Amino acid sequence: MKRKLSILAGAALLVLAVSVWFMPAHSGDKPLKRAKSTSINTSAYGNAFKDVAGHVVDDLHSLMVLKDGEIIYEEYAVGHDADELHTMWSASKTFTATAIGFAVQDGLVSLTDHVVDYFDSTVLPKHPSKWLKEMTVYDLLIMSSGFSNGNFTPDMRAGRMSDPTRQTLNSEVTFKPGTKWSYNSMNSYLLSAIITKVTGQKMADYLDAKLFKPLGIRNYYWEESDEGINSGGWGLYLTTESLAKMGQFFLQRGEWDGKQLLDSEWIEDAMSPHIYQWQGRNNLPEEQILEVTKNDDWNLGYGYQMWCCQHGAARLDGAWGQFCTILPDKNAVVVMTALAEDTKTEYRTLWKYIYDTL
């Protein structure tokens, strides 16, 4: 059953304001299996739509639940459907990290490589700082590069994508790489640039052969900069089902249709905490912090461009409520797309209505 959005006019205005826009999809994606029946009681799942719709512009757009590799629940709000290409925002980052995983597997990249070694004098500072020279691919992956400029360069904030590699590499490095977690979308952009450097391809094209085609994902779009680099940390547009495929790919530890596409150890590492969001920010003993944060899905550690969660889960996470959660203990995947400011309320519906039923 489809549900009405709470206030369509208000939502439309915010959509324009934050550039959350949608593009028509085309036929061609290979569908996931849909369960003919299930013993799981899914009757409460739709309550997630009601919980999210508590703000004038907050709405859950889609909800999809996979169990044992099959879709057992699927619902779309009015104005949204299965064919819609939805902006993934920062959920794009996990795809970028996966491209790095394939490049490592292909022998093109090592996590210990220094970032500056991939770039030349046209984009590097004339006198690179000690910490910039120490920065590794691994530091970019775990959001511990040391860059201080937040998510975007000044031009990015102004809506431009001009010369972002040079701007980023010339940003101030304010802490020793690897010592503190500091979320920065330009880390992901640099990872995309590195993929282009080592493959001679745009990252989307590299992933097309390695990931998208094998998973039957044909309908997608990824924004790119004036440099011809896919944005990496944002800008990927997918259907809800394609996002679910990515979750299932991780759940299956890199295997698809009987073929091991990506090394299972990489997948395990990607979903494991390598650094904690509070690391380098709090003087309390680690065991005390872990006890306080044990149910806080925003403080349970960060893997390779993805977030660690309760119950050994991990998630792809994008602004305005784009979530794909891999639940190994339940052999399940839960996907949500949305336009929501209160994303924590949205995410908690997973634990409130869905997790215990699986």
Least Cα distance to 216 among 185, 241, 250, 183 occurs for 241
3-state secondary structure 166-229: HHHHCCCECCCCCCCCCCCHHHHHHHHHHHHHHHCCCHHHHHHHHHHCCCCCCCCEECECCCCC
Least Cα distance to 191 among 271, 304, 267 occurs for 304
Encoded amino acid at 51, one letter:
D
CA distance 136 to 114: 4
DSSP state letter for 86 = E
Q: What is the pLDDT along the chain (358 residues), one digit of tens a residue?
A: 333 333 333 333 333 333 333 343 444 688 999 999 999 999 999 999 999 997 767 999 999 999 999 999 999 999 999 999 999 999 999 999 999 999 999 999 999 999 999 999 999 999 999 999 999 999 999 999 999 766 555 555 555 667 899 989 999 999 999 999 999 999 999 999 999 999 999 999 999 999 999 999 999 999 999 899 999 999 999 999 999 999 999 999 999 999 999 999 999 999 999 999 887 666 667 776 776 677 789 999 999 999 999 999 999 999 999 999 999 999 999 999 999 999 999 999 999 999 999 9
Global pTM reads 0.90
Q: CA of 41: how far to CAs of 105, 153, 241, 340, 353, in Å?
A: 41, 47, 21, 26, 10
What is the pLDDT at residue 4?
A: 34
What is the torsion angle, in degrees rounded to the nearest 10, for the CA atoms of residue 178, residue 184, residue 186 and residue 190? 30
Coil/strand/helix, residue 254 = coil
**143's torsion region: left (phi>0), alpha (psi -120 to 50) or beta?**
left
* CA angle (282, 288, 292) in 5-degree steps: 90
- Which residue stretches of the chain are H helix? 8-17, 47-52, 92-105, 130-134, 137-141, 154-157, 164-169, 185-199, 203-207, 240-251, 264-270, 286-292, 343-349
Record the tokens describing residue 65, joined without a space.
Answer: 């639940």
Least Cα distance to 323 among 266, 218, 238 occurs for 238
CA distance 281 to 294: 17
Provide the 10 A C-beta neighbour count for residue 206: 23
Least Cα distance to 332 among 45, 65, 74 occurs for 65
CA distance 270 to 141: 9
What is the pLDDT at residue 29?
A: 85
CA distance 333 to 313: 10
Print burial letters for 152-168: b (CB count within 10 Å at least 16), e (below 16): bbeebeeeebeebbbbb
What is the pLDDT at residue 141?
A: 98
